[in-house]
Structure 1
Amino acid sequence: MGNKAIKVTILVLLLLILVQSAAFAETRFNIPNIQLQIGDGVEGNEVGELETSLRILILLTVLSLAPAILILLTSFTRIAIVLSMIRRALATQTMPPNQVLIGLSIFLTIYIMSPVWGEINQEALQPYLNEEIGQEDAIDRGVEPLREFMFRHTREKDIALFINMSEGDRPNSREDIATYILIPAFVLSELKTAFQIGFIIFIPFIVIDMIVASTLMAMGMMMLPPVMISLPFKILLFVLVDGWYLVIKSLVETF
């Protein structure tokens, strides 16, 4: 009886599928008519509409570059690398998760860069919105606080490297250094500083790994992975010295 009911149900489903397929095949779809035309130009109000469209296009382009701007022109690079090295030194694999580390890096970047962004808002954005200055002046004023921030944390050696590779004239002052030269020099300096901090963080954890490995070897426990024993001790040490507090405090003070 049960098999008969199942067969009847399957037969009904097949009939419904056939009916819907027939109805779907008979349905007519209206394909929209698309035409491309080349006119003689724009006049009058159409010029304003074109300018608005171009501004929207430029705005979308800037928004698409926002992640790169956040990473390359701010303190985000140093913070993200150092936090990742802490996780690698602890050997906790994916703990804390990437989302936590990136989120913490973003908010620390906002905290560190808030004076710079406040100056940009006061000197460039607000005067431009109030129509007190033009677009070019707003860009020049807005870039200047970022340049000053990057100059403070960029080594002269890195700036000289890109100036020499560009084969340009030797600058006499900071104003003569182009922004496209300053940005890669700043990123290179940030990478070096981040790896220096990471090396210092690694040292105590490497000592713990060496002690645990030597102890296990002396006890003849060759098959036991030292990481399984050293991991709790490293976490305990990091918690006892309030490691997150010390690392974040040191990172913020470097800026």
Structure 2
Amino acid sequence: MNARRAGLAAFGVAMAVAAPAAAVTFDQGMESFLSLAEGGSLSGRIVQGIVLLTVLSVAPGLLIMVTCFTRIIVVLSLLRSALGLQQSPPNMVLISLAMFLTFYIMGPVMDRAWQEGLRPMLNEQVTGEQGLERMIEPFRDFMFAHVRGRDLAAFASFSGDPPPAGPEPGSPPTAQSVDLRLLMPAFLLSELRRAFEIGFLLFLPFLVIDMVVAAILMAMGMMMLPPVMIALPFKIIFFVLTDGWFLIAGSLIRSYGTGG
């Protein structure tokens, strides 16, 4: 049931953020969509179908932008490179692990989007516009909690807007006062930065192993033997003995303040 709720909430938020991602305000997009829904003309239904197909095509990218998937998959990819493995674990395994960790971390956010937005909308307790706005709020709060203020200010300067500020003059910005057009790319940039920071720390112990193995081979006069080939099993056994997968998964979860 929780997986079903999470899936429905994820689909709903993808539809909800499609308009801001296309640089169209939410109110304008919903007004146009609802006006088409009220008109029963054939052309209106055709436009509805085109809009729905467009939203479905960009939904995966939108979900990546508003969740923790980006940080997790980048860290896992850098980990594989640090180990010196090219195709193991396969991409499908890394993506599946990143997806499961994403659903675990984003569980409270998706459950809130379901409880406050999607379920009341499906039960016709609120209008479609109100339901979509409520579904956006949990994801907006999540992104705002993990975005760097410097990135927000940078994207505001790119567009010529003033730096984000709170409702009162001189007050710090709040999640509701920041436009999604600025928040989403700033959040994605912050996630990439943190992912590379984690990746740098992951590379250090494996780099030490490579240097030690290369120094030993050089001291033994075995310069024709590739150090990478000799260091690979030592890096794998080191990663296994330290329970590396558990440590990486736990560190990623705790980096979002989840899991204690």
Query: What is the deviation of 1:118?
Result: 0.8
CA distance, structure 2, for counterparts of residue 111 and residue 210 of structure 1: 37
Q: Is the 8 Å Cα contact of residues 80 and 88 (structure 2) preserved in structure 1? A: yes
Q: Percent identity?
A: 52
Query: What is the deviation of 1:52?
Result: 4.5
Q: Specify the alignment match of 1:62 in structure 2.
A: 55
* CA gap 1:82/1:139 in 2 versus in 1, 3 angstroms: same
* CA gap 1:206/1:111 in 2 versus in 1, 3 angstroms: same
Query: What is the deviation of 1:50?
Result: 5.1
- Secondary structure of the structure 2 residue equivalent to 1:176: coil
Alignment of 1:18-57 (within 5 A): 47=40, 51-57=44-50
Q: Specify the alignment match of 2:70 in structure 1.
A: 77
CA distance, structure 1, for counterparts of residue 189 and residue 231 of structure 2: 34
The AA in structure 1 aligned to 2:240 is V
* CA gap 1:223/1:158 in 2 versus in 1, 3 angstroms: same
Structure 1 unaligned blocks of 5 or more: 1-44
* CA gap 1:135/1:48 in 2 versus in 1, 3 angstroms: farther
CA distance, structure 1, for counterparts of residue 150 and residue 88 of structure 2: 37
Q: Specify the alignment match of 1:19 in structure 2.
A: none
CA distance, structure 1, for counterparts of residue 52 and residue 150 of structure 2: 35
Alignment of 1:69-218 (within 5 A): 69-173=62-166, 174=174, 175-218=176-219
- Secondary structure of the structure 1 residue equivalent to 2:224: coil
| Aligned-residue RMSD, C-alpha | 1.7
* CA gap 1:127/1:52 in 2 versus in 1, 3 angstroms: farther
* CA gap 1:250/1:109 in 2 versus in 1, 3 angstroms: same
Query: What is the deviation of 1:135?
Result: 1.9
* CA gap 1:80/1:154 in 2 versus in 1, 3 angstroms: same
Q: TM-score, normalised by structure 1?
A: 0.79
Check if 1:247 corresponds to 2:248. yes
Q: Specify the alignment match of 2:224 in structure 1.
A: 223
Q: Is the 8 Å Cα contact of residues 109 and 142 (structure 2) preserved in structure 1? A: yes
CA distance, structure 2, for counterparts of residue 240 and residue 170 of structure 1: 48
Q: TM-score, normalised by structure 2?
A: 0.77
Considering only CA atoms, is the larger Rg found in Structure 1 or Structure 2? 1
Structure 2 unaligned blocks of 5 or more: 1-37, 167-173
* CA gap 1:50/1:128 in 2 versus in 1, 3 angstroms: farther
CA distance, structure 2, for counterparts of residue 240 and residue 58 of structure 1: 52
* CA gap 1:49/1:132 in 2 versus in 1, 3 angstroms: farther
CA distance, structure 2, for counterparts of residue 79 and residue 46 of structure 1: 44
Query: What is the deviation of 1:250?
Result: 0.4
Q: Is the 8 Å Cα contact of residues 165 and 177 (structure 2) preserved in structure 1? A: yes
- Secondary structure of the structure 2 residue equivalent to 1:47: coil
Query: What is the deviation of 1:49?
Result: 5.4
- Secondary structure of the structure 2 residue equivalent to 1:65: helix
Query: What is the deviation of 1:185?
Result: 0.5
* CA gap 1:157/1:46 in 2 versus in 1, 3 angstroms: closer
The runs of at least 4 aligned residues of structure 1 exceeding 6 Å deviation read none
Query: What is the deviation of 1:58?
Result: 2.6
| Number of corresponding residues | 211
- Secondary structure of the structure 1 residue equivalent to 2:75: helix
CA distance, structure 2, for counterparts of residue 46 and residue 159 of structure 1: 40
CA distance, structure 1, for counterparts of residue 122 and residue 192 of structure 2: 36
CA distance, structure 1, for counterparts of residue 233 and residue 189 of structure 2: 35
The AA in structure 2 aligned to 1:78 is R
